Amino acid sequence: RCGEETPSDGEDDEHRATTMRMRETNGRMQRSARMDVGWRRRIRTRERRKEKRVAVAKVRGDGDGNQTVWRRDGNTNHAPGYGGTFALVMANAVMYALDHGIKWEMAKTMYLNHASWKWWQVVTSTFCHASWSHLSGNLFLLYIFGRLVEEEEGAFGVVMAYLICGAAASLASLVMLPRTSAQGFLGMGNAPVFSVGASGAVFGLFAVAVMVKMMKGFSFRKLLEAGILGQFVVEKLLGEVHMQANGGSLVAGASVNHIAHISGALAGVFLIFLLTRLPSDKDPSSTPSTAAP
């Protein structure tokens, strides 16, 4: 029409190109915004999960008004991983597999031979077992009472208590039990006596678990735990003393070493008694006093 200017073809192309660039820019911005929202949501979710993992804690009193917090992030000294108990259980299970599974010949040398014993057998025999039922019963009690000790004393504490009480039970067996039995080949001669099993060490953990619970204060919870554990341990010990006084007992044709059970428990009591007598950093009498000039 006359009097109006019509855009040229070049101007139309430039307008369309500008429009397309603007649409592409807007699309990229929208996609970037959605991605940012998604990443921020993922980051917030991860942070919330991390906060929950850190915040999940088991708080226990130590009897002095202080509290120890167990966190799953591993920043505290008493994280409830039960690594020491798990290591002891695995050591017993692996030793049984080597002895009774693949018939490893060296496994028999780890038994405590009363007739000709070696020093390492005092400890290695506590990881050997005569049968599956023997292993199963000991591992169940080791798992229960080992965790109780590890909750209070840590992985190092439960492992050392196991080794010390087990070694004490083995030494007591060497002293109080005969070296040979009158059941040699075809009824002639004497056969050496062997001792195996974690029972002595487990009975030591019985005593240690009760003692450490009693020493952590006199709250209602601690008294209840000590009472429940204590009556079980006392009943077990009285049963062992009774059976030993009546000549012992047999399980699957093998004599039960009641001496090791009783000695292991007594070793646990003596161990805790000895540790409580050692000077601590909190004890003011443990540090020498200096006179003022």
Residues with catalytic roles: 199, 261
Six-digit token string for 278: 């050692």
Output the CA torsion 101→102→105→111 (10° steps). -20
Closest CA to 233 of 281, 193, 260, 266: 266
For 203-247, give the secondary structure using H, E and C.
HHHHHHHHHHHHHCCCCHHHHHHHHHHHHHHHHHHHHHHHHHHCC
Six-digit token string for 247: 């000549």
CB 112 within 8 A of CB 196: yes
CB 216 within 8 A of CB 62: yes
